[in-house]
Structure 1
Amino acid sequence: NSNKSWKDAQSLLSLGKLLKIEELAELLPPPLDVALLADYGPSSKLTNVDRVSAVGLVGYWADFDPEESWERYDAISAQELLDRAGVTKTLREELIDPLLHVLPMCPDYDCSAAAMLSCFHVFALQSKGAFDVRWCRGSIAEKIFDPWQTQLQKRGVHILGGSKLQS
């Protein structure tokens, strides 16, 4: 029961017991455990403080119900909700922003909090292990787009950077 687990976590925190990240994550319902438990490489910019800042979303995530609270959360941007929740800038840049660009396909300032919470719940984070994040080891341009561009150019494709596609 995730509500019981969250109450257990609150009790432990109020008693002043210092929990390890893994212990805290075990007490949290999905999706809140993902930012805490994801396996980041040694070059990750995320600190434990960044990862723990995801806990600020627990109240909003627990309160959100697409049928009952959509209007209320749709009235504010995902950016505003993340600000209110105290999610660090680094966690946003390294984890949340990439997910927003893939799921609702927009930045946090153009996405409603309702759309963000719904997408994260339905498409990515409904249960432990439902969404296994893998980050590119290097820049996406260097590892994906530059080799692709080279391959296309070898086949005679002329690439015009900074141009709009016209049919």
Structure 2
Amino acid sequence: MQKPFLSATLALILSAGIASTAWAQGHSPAHIHNHAEKGGYRLAQSPTDVAQFTEEYFNNGDFAGLATLYDEDSIFVTPDGVKHRGRTAILAAFKKFREQYSALKGGDMEILSSDTAGLIIVNWRLIGRDGHADASGTGTDVARRRPDGSWAYAVDNPFGVARVAK
């Protein structure tokens, strides 16, 4: 059984050192990597972890966990095109989303990465408090490797090119 972040239609995960078969066989990120921790939180060890931990932390309402996935110069773009920079602004935006939506569900994902940067392309849905999918999109995100070897978002753009194409 696949983890919630990946749908049954997952076609491909490309990531340095990550075997997509391990995730497809139901292993959690902790089984794929020996995760370092900081403040009790697993540190993302790949762009794949960044995307998967986002879903986990959002669904648990764990804003301290979400904070581990962003740096002070990270950018999060909301549907209105506002670019929130830094952990404080990004977490405030996430808190507004969490008030409206009960769950984030990831779908098909493709990751193209080098040793220091990764492009995350992922389909997602936000589930409203009434249980229906109220928002969806294809994120085009950029993750980067930190000096300690963990990964974080440089740019979290959940609406990808859809907003640009309007």
Same fold (TM over 0.5): no
Bigger Rg over Cα: 1
Structure (1/2) with the larger helix percentage: 1
What TM-score do you get using the length of structure 2 for normalisation?
A: 0.30
